[in-house]
A and B are shown apart, each in its own frame.
Chain A
Amino acid sequence: MTHSEMTSMQRVLTTLGHQEPDRVPFFLLASLHGARELGLSIQDYFSRPEHVVEGQLRIRAKYRHDCLSGFFYAPVEVEAWGGEVIFAEDGPPNSGRPFLRNVDDIHHMAPPRIADSDCLVRVLRTIEGLRAASAGEVPVIGVVMSPFSVPVMQMGFDRYIELIYEQPILFDRLMKVNEAFCVEWANAQFKAGATAVCLFDPVSSATIIPPDLYRKTGFPSARRTIARIQGPVATHLASGRGLPIFDDLAKTGTVMAGVSAEEDLGRIKTACRGKLTVLGNLDGITMRRWTQKEVEARVKNAIAEAGPEGGFILSDNHGEIPWQVPDEVLMAVSDAVRRWGRYPLDWIDESMNGTAVDDR
């Protein structure tokens, strides 16, 4: 069976339905590279929604991938809470000193008002612009930090781990406040035109906390949160391992999992088949030095492992391509997914039977 050319929206929706579209969808989550396209510093780029809209459109036109992203940078939410954001010339803006200086401050914290937060309003204007430009043919992705993971930026990783283990009452209070904000922030992005929202949740991964503890902490928080978000949610573990918790993730109500390059993609696909669409898992750290040949081999391998039967979107493993990854590598990824991602993926069987496919 052959497929006629689909729009990006049709392609993504088909794979989300665990069916095979015309080709493997490709999300190039290059939130910083738009600044390079426009010849702006990263700080200037994110200062105006028009810049980000233009950057996203240029990236999509250049690399022909299948989404537009309203993501600015992880600490944009911390900025709204009153925290500090530190811009760099060659990397994503970082959160500064945690704004919760004392754990007892959790008793008194209240979520920011979205309409009063310039940084959040810029994100919403960006999503509106992307939605208008997409004409309904390209998914527009919004991003929220999960209530369970954002405390790393709010209070620091070390104190947050101690809180999880040692102060359950304060932990519950923190989740309650963060969940209220996360739901409001996600729904505001849907109202602005987002097709889906990505919930960044690295702390839930088995890399950061044991699965037993996740089931008592991050899991119920995610389930409560997603139940109140008025649109589809994808959960990204941002390089963290997920194999021990994919069954749980599916029960949170999420439809997709952003997965780690440190786990076998074939095993991930088996664990997620029919339950979660797999997003990943090209390694962004080593990607900056990949040769054209390596790119092709890695893309082929990912498609062979996770492409059959749909339920797969090729992307990086972290949800953000490092600034240091050169355009030539990104172009090679784009070319490779076009070359090897077209359904039906007959070459996989040929390859397994020993037929040479490298000279296709």
Chain B
Amino acid sequence: MDGKGGIRMAAEIRQSESAPTSSAEAFEQALLVLDRLAARRLLIDPEGGESVIQRIENIMVPALERIGRAWETGKIALSQVYMSGRICEDLVEGLLQESGRPRKDQPKMAVAVLEDYHLLGKRMVYSTLRASGFALKDYGRMEAEALVRRAVEDEIELLLISALMLPSALRVGKVRRLLDRSGSRTRLIVGGAPFRIDPQLGWEVGADAVGNSAADAVAIIERIAGGGS
């Protein structure tokens, strides 16, 4: 896409939402026009007053959340959300290695796709969470039984499942039953088109939370990790 289109969209999004800090705003613009260098520059505090982790939390996470909301309301396209997440994931990997700082305290988490090969949603969630400073296992594509076995073995506390097709989304109900039968207290966070379109579906399959965008996962995890339901 051309830079003007991306900046125009970013401006429209800004007008419709509360004003972010100027750095987060500029960072969001850089993501939407795929300007990696500008994004990296904005993430490094020229004065050295904030740590990398603080810059990520104050600039990158809000930008990704706003991009997620813009996707939910149809203002930007999936490809922009995906590319923004990828850029942030790469930046975080590089900057955290440079800074040598530990990641924030968090529950043990994994992300997976059930049965089909529609892996984009999982990738987006993975990128967004990594970019937000979380560590998590990527289980890839799995059948319900194997997924539950592995989650129990790994003592996963939060299991994120992405689904594009309705049959895959319904299969989450089987994961829930198998987890319950095993005595596991793993919580299920689900997302993907069927859950977004049918708000009752998450409840039907026994999910603990439903995310409407990859960025939603961050807020849900923070809520659950903070003792919320």
Among listed A131-139, A201-209, A226-234, A273-281, interface-contacting one? A201-209
Known: A96-B117, A208-B78, A210-B76. A162 touches B166 (CB 8 A): no
Cβ–Cβ < 8 Å partners of A44 in chain B: none
Cβ–Cβ < 8 Å partners of A86 in chain B: 116-117
**Do residues B167 and A289 form an inter-chain contact, with CB atoms below 8 A?**
no
Cβ–Cβ < 8 Å partners of A90 in chain B: 167, 170
Cβ–Cβ < 8 Å partners of A97 in chain B: 117
Cβ–Cβ < 8 Å partners of B130 in chain A: none
CB-contacts of B188-225 with A (<8 A) = 193-194, 197-198, 200-201
Q: Measured between C-beta atoms, what is the minimum distance from B72 to chain A in Å?
A: 11
| Interface size in chain A (residues, C-beta < 8 A) | 38
CA distance A91 to B115 in the complex (A): 12
A172 at the interface (CB under 8 A from B): no
Cβ–Cβ < 8 Å partners of A212 in chain B: 1-2, 5
**Do residues B197 and A210 form an inter-chain contact, with CB atoms below 8 A?**
no
**Do residues A289 and B200 form an inter-chain contact, with CB atoms below 8 A?**
yes
Q: Measured between C-beta atoms, what is the minimum distance from A36 to chain B in Å?
A: 15
B77 at the interface (CB under 8 A from A): yes
**Do residues A210 and B79 form an inter-chain contact, with CB atoms below 8 A?**
yes
Cβ–Cβ < 8 Å partners of A324 in chain B: 166-167, 170
- Which partner residue on chain A sits nearest B34 by CB separation? A165
CA distance A82 to B76 in the complex (A): 34
Q: Measured between C-beta atoms, what is the minimum distance from A207 to chain B in Å?
A: 6
Q: Measured between C-beta atoms, what is the minimum distance from A312 to chain B in Å?
A: 22
Known: A283-B197, A289-B200. A208 touches B117 (CB 8 A): no
Among listed A153-161, A189-197, A301-309, A327-335, interface-contacting one? A153-161
CA distance A262 to B72 in the complex (A): 11
Cβ–Cβ < 8 Å partners of B118 in chain A: 94, 157
Q: Considering residues B77, B86, B166, B198, which has the most beta carbons from chain A within 10 angstroms of its beta carbon?
A: B77
Q: Measured between C-beta atoms, what is the minimum distance from B80 to chain A in Å?
A: 6
Cβ–Cβ < 8 Å partners of B152 in chain A: none
**Do residues B117 and A285 form an inter-chain contact, with CB atoms below 8 A?**
no
Cβ–Cβ < 8 Å partners of A262 in chain B: 74, 197
Known: A157-B119, A158-B120. A208 touches B79 (CB 8 A): yes
Selected A-B contacts with CB under 8 Å, 20 pairs? A86-B117, A90-B170, A94-B117, A96-B117, A98-B117, A156-B119, A157-B118, A158-B82, A165-B1, A206-B77, A207-B74, A207-B77, A210-B77, A212-B5, A261-B197, A285-B197, A285-B198, A286-B197, A322-B166, A323-B167
Taking beta carbons and an 8 Å cutoff, which residues of A are in contact with B? 86, 88, 90-92, 94-98, 156-158, 161-162, 164-165, 206-210, 212-213, 216, 239, 241, 261-262, 283-286, 288-289, 322-324
Taking beta carbons and an 8 Å cutoff, which residues of B are in contact with A? 1-2, 5-6, 9, 34, 74, 76-80, 82-83, 86, 115-120, 123, 165-168, 170, 193-194, 197-198, 200-201
